[in-house]
Amino acid sequence: MKFKAKMKLCILFMMVTSLFAKEKRATLVHKVAIKALVNGLFVCAEKAGKQSLRANRAQIGPWETFEISFSDSQTLTLKSFANGKFVCAEKNGQFPLIANRDQAGPWETFTIVPNKEGVALKSHANGKFVTAENAGKSYLIANRDNADIWERFVIIYL
């Protein structure tokens, strides 16, 4: 086989392989609930997603259920089961998280950062960690430089 023919075959193989790899990544979707470690309560898309996210629920229902979708081993989006919308770090992370977007972009994308007790979520909107503000009494917002107890969560696969 000539060099050009081998190259074409190699390129074709890489293209087919990458298609399957993308398809495999696209299927990394799971139904989850998210528990804030600071207060032991579940994150909720308040008022069926019409209000910002808050860690204030003792039980899991539709408002406390999310679809987590990984685009790679650390990058994810969250979609609320309450309204089918993506969770957004509104106004580049200046406002609380809310499930109100039809499509995912940087404001709706997060990096999962494992820690010894669970995970932290870092917003791609501003590079800040999501916090359960005021020990979970206020809305979730991406405004922290470091991940301490208010920024630690446990993801529970349902």
For residue 52, the domain's CATH number is: 2.80.10.50
Q: What is the pLDDT along the chain (158 residues), one digit of tens a residue?
A: 554 444 333 333 333 334 344 444 454 789 999 999 999 999 999 999 999 999 999 999 999 999 999 998 899 999 999 999 999 999 999 999 999 999 999 999 999 999 989 999 999 999 999 999 999 999 999 999 999 999 999 999 99
Strand 75-80 relative to strand 42-45, pairing: unpaired
CA-based nearest residue to 26, from 88, 82, 77, 98: 77
Answer whether 99's CB lies under 8 Å from 80's CB: yes
What is the total count of domains within the chain? 1
> What would you measure as the largest C-alpha separation in the chain, in angstroms?
69
Range of the domain at 111: 1-157
* Both structure tokens of 75: 């990058």
Looking at residue 6, its pLDDT comes to 41
Claim: this prediction has a pTM higher than 0.95: no
